[in-house]
Amino acid sequence: MKPYVFITRKLPDEVVKPLLQNYEVSMWEQEDIPVPKDLLLSEAKKADALLTMLSDSIDEKVLTAGKKLKVVANLAVGFDNIDLKVASREGVAVCNTPDVLTDTTADLTFGLLMATARRLMEAAEFVKDGKWKSWSPLLLAGHDIHHKTIGIVGMGKIGETVAKRATGFEMNILYHNRTRKPAVEQELGAVYVSLDELVEKTDFIVCLTPLTSETKNMFTREMFKKMKQSAIFINAGRGPVVDEQALFDALVAGEIAGAGLDVFEKEPIGADHPLLQLPNVVALPHIGSSSVETRMEMMKLCLSNIQAGIEGNEPKTLVNKDWKPLVKA
């Protein structure tokens, strides 16, 4: 009997086809609707491998539903949706898709910064709504980006790549990270500072930190009050690192100038979300790595990880480094 692979979201046929040579494959046939939890549990009970999305909760119930599961390949660089401790205990390899999405996500992040600073979304809608009646000196005037100071919170590979983009605009670069990055400091002239100093001095605060117990609700109302009134906050990392009510209150009170968000505390959000009611907020549907080329590479990496995990080999991008394959029925 061929090993069984379940995919929790519809993927292109050309991506799935190579799997069919060696595995039995089933796929949730919806592109925009997450797989129901009861179906996920039913599939996990018989699966050797799961290809999952960041929106899927891969908890203890899923990881222990059956006796065959060997690998969970997450189609994302993040993996806070998976219980790593239980996965390691059960001998399940957990994999993500780093590196292949670094440049694409950095492009989106800097594009979001530019769109928010120069009020591009407002301006586009202004024209489409027929409101453009004449030219005026401060019509939809935004904020300059060149020669300003950018502060990057979370100087991982994506953060480093955003910093490279910033050098093209001759920006001053400050960063805060768990560890210093001397090579980045030397190459790009980035300066390591405390989080408090970063938010006080920068014109653009760019959050790219992963979600951990330490970073959850990192950006509080107190933190927003420390920012410049002209500051723009960009979050392309994880939604829950921001207290969204605090961000809303800070924007309404004029404590910061605007926000560009690709991630939210709970996704997806509805049109009635408070932050969407504000004209100085640019909101995107978590599309940081969403280019055709990059998403295809991410999918291929997931397939490679699945093959390795099923065969009992260490996957290329293993997350739970304490993983050891268990002999399973």
Q: To 10 degrees, the CA torsion angle through 214, 115, 200, 265?
A: -20
238 is catalytic: yes
**How far is it, in rounded angstroms, from Cα 86 to Cα 72?**
12
Contact yes or no for 144/257 (Cβ under 8 A): no
Q: Among candidates 186, 178, 251, which has minimal Cα distance to 208?
A: 178
267 is catalytic: yes
Catalytic residue selected from 9, 165, 176, 286: 286
**How far is it, in rounded angstroms, from Cα 134 to Cα 157?**
44
Q: Which amino acid is at 207?
A: C
Catalytic residue selected from 9, 238, 244, 255: 238
Q: Among candidates 98, 93, 317, which has minimal Cα distance to 208?
A: 98
Catalytic residue selected from 60, 125, 187, 267: 267
Contact yes or no for 25/16 (Cβ under 8 A): yes
**How far is it, in rounded angstroms, from Cα 150 to Cα 166?**
8
| Catalytic residue ranges | 238, 267, 286
